[in-house]
Amino acid sequence: MLKKRIIPCLDIRDGRTVKGVNFLDLRDAGDPVELAKRYVEQRADELVFLDITATIEKRKALAELVSRIAAEIYIPFTVGGGIETIEDAEVLIRAGADKITVNTSAFRNPALITRIAKQFGRQCVVVAIDTAFVSNEWTVFIEGGRTPTKSKALDWALKAESFGAGEILLTSMNTDGTKSGFSIEITRDVVRSLNIPVIASGGAGNPEHFREVFSKTNCSAALAASIFHYGEIAIPELKAYLLARGINVRI
């Protein structure tokens, strides 16, 4: 059985790590290079770096910062933000990214998923899906959660897989930053319907939330930010908690 992964996420704005609630009210969470080094020491399984304003500001992700982080870590490193072409992806992979995550650009042009997968391998392509429960259904949002679409999260996840996505990063905007727990229903539905790994994101507040999402949805990984950044949960303690409760994690 594959071990479940614990993944800290660095949301980057103006070169600093930030975190908000429901994608709003961002506050500083520290230097991304120092945080990345800390998470390697704490035995995080992977690291995600999201330049959260790159798409809105119509610029590319911060390749120089990616290079600095990559030089300090040896765990798998996923990078996203402003990736619109195969050349954008190549710049970040050359800077040290192991995987590329695409969101708005992939939604608007799913063929980008296929091109990146063909160039670098399917395992390199993570499609990030931001979704919120609106009018009794899980709706896809793009442009950093600012713009609703007419697509349902499950439909888009299935389409992304068909175009070559190797993994889905599913974030519930309803619970993001609230520390009230992951959105189990939509995570479970996406996991059951796809044949690729799904990373659950949005809502982690305590170790029990991780146990719940792993045991109730069979997701491959769980991602969190503020609880790690602000020292509310140490990754070794979280993994020990999960292991003691029958969740297969890497110590």
Q: pLDDT tens digit string along 172-227?
A: 999 998 999 999 999 999 999 999 999 999 999 999 999 999 999 999 999 998 89
pLDDT tens figures, 10-42: 887 666 666 445 444 445 556 888 889 999 999
Could you confirm whether 189 is annotated as catalytic? no
Residue type, 214: F
Is 98 designated active site? no
In the DSSP assignment, the letter for residue 135 is: T
Q: Which of 45, 51, 88, 130 is an active site residue?
A: 130
> Is 231 contained in some domain?
yes
Instruction: Quickly tell me which residue has 């120092």 as its tokens.
Output: 34
- Report the residue count for the chain: 251
Dist. CA 128–CA 106, nearest whole Å? 9
Looking at residue 59, what is its pLDDT?
A: 46
Q: Which residues form the domain of 160?
A: 5-244
Residues 6 or more apart whose CB falls under 8 angstroms from that of 215 comprise 246, 247
Give the model confidence (pLDDT) of 141-154 as tens digits. Answer: 999 889 999 999 99
CATH number at residue 197: 3.20.20.70
**What is residue 202's three-state secondary structure?**
coil
Instruction: Sort strands 137-142 and 147-152 into parallel, antiparallel or unpaired.
Output: antiparallel
pLDDT at res. 177: 85
Q: How many CB atoms lie within 10 A of CB 103?
A: 27
CB atoms within 10 A of CB 220: 19
Say if 20 falls within a structural domain: yes
Q: How many domains does the chain have?
A: 1
